[in-house]
Amino acid sequence: MSFTVIIPARLASTRLPNKPIADICGKPMIVRVAEQALKSGASRVICAVDDELILKACEANGIEACLTRKDHACGTDRLCEAAEVCKIPDDEIIVNVQGDEPLIPPKVIKNVAELLMNRSDCSMGTAAIRIHSAEEFFNPNVVKVVADKNGSALYFSRAPIPWDRDGFAKDRNALPRDLGLRHVGIYSYRCAFLKAYPQLPKSDLESWESLEQLRALYNGYKIAVDIFEEEIPPGVDTLADLEAVRAYLQKK
């Protein structure tokens, strides 16, 4: 089994400036993410960065990195450039690991790569975990996914889906068992599909939901979903998140 992990990272962040190079117990965040990816069995791990500061932080820690343009509209576009620059073959599986997930389990990365290898009918793969509270289910910042019997995504939404009409008519504070799946923002792609992705027509669904994976579904491509029963640690969006990761690693 061969797959490549690409970690897109940009220096500018509204909620946490210079996030990729934020120190976490003596190492930049981007390096922590890359080290988790290296434990997944990936044949290659590349950080696709938009600034020399991140590039130097990676190189100083022995992590492969490539400099990409600053003007990419999304992380997928940055991935595409990195795949071209690094001459990754079209038949390779690429796993997109977000640059702000220093605690991502290597098993999740490996499983998402294997998921696509085992699903020849799908162009993308991703992960989900079960939602356990109504608060999480109704939170628009929590992206939900609904899958079919074969484990292919039917739809992703910030809205609470699927909707238990009778159950929620009685009580919206209690979540019916196994109702919702929380989407985890990790993707695997076939490299040829990844390179074609930026040219696919966008839809209003993608704009309304602000979810770029809907572009694939809108254009008729399938996304395989792997459901993990164990919890997957959240990423770092704020200073509070960063402090929580620091405290976790110091205790560990």
Task: For 63-116, write each residue's pLDDT tens digit.
Answer: 999 999 888 777 788 899 999 999 999 999 999 999 999 999 999 999 999 999
- Confidence at residue 94, expressed as pLDDT on a 0 to 100 scale: 97
Please choose, from the candidates 11, 7, 2, 3, the residue with its C-alpha nearest in 3D space to the C-alpha of residue 31: 7
Which residues, at least 6 apart from 94, have a Cβ–Cβ distance to it below 8 Å?
Answer: 3, 4, 5, 6, 79, 83, 88, 188, 189, 190, 191, 194
For residue 237, tell me if it sits in a domain.
Answer: no
Residue 204 domain-assigned (yes or no): yes
* Cα dihedral 61→63→64→68 (10° resolution): -80
The count of structural domains within the chain is 1
In a domain, 242, yes or no: no
Q: Are the beta carbons of 187 and 125 closer than 8 angstroms?
A: yes
pLDDT for the residue 233: 83
Range of the domain at 52: 1-230
Residue 251: the pLDDT is 84
Amino acid at 179: L
**pLDDT on residue 77:** 84
CA-to-CA distance for 212 and 204, rounded, in angstroms?
11
Any domain includes 239: no
The radius of gyration of the chain's CA atoms, rounded to the nearest angstrom, is 18
- pLDDT grade, residue 45 (50/70/90)? very high
CA–CA gap between residue 137 and residue 24 (Å, rounded): 31
| Residue 245 is assigned to a structural domain of this protein | no
Residue 112 lies in a domain: yes
Specify the pLDDT at position 122. Answer: 96
Q: What pLDDT, in 10s, does the model give residues 138-170?
A: 999 899 999 999 999 999 999 999 999 988 988
The CA distance from 32 to 29, in Å, is 5
Element (H, E) at 227: strand 223-228
The answer to whether residue 238 is domain-embedded is no
pLDDT at 200: 94
What pLDDT score was predicted for residue 58?
96
Sign of CA dihedral 32, 36, 41, 42: negative
Determine the average pLDDT of the residues in 197-208: 93
Q: Is residue 28 part of a domain?
A: yes
Q: How much of the chain, in percent, has pLDDT values that exceed 70?
A: 100
Which pLDDT value is given to residue 21?
Answer: 93
CATH of the domain at 63: 3.90.550.10
Q: How far is CA 95 from CA 35, 85, 106, 186, 248, in A?
A: 15, 16, 12, 7, 26
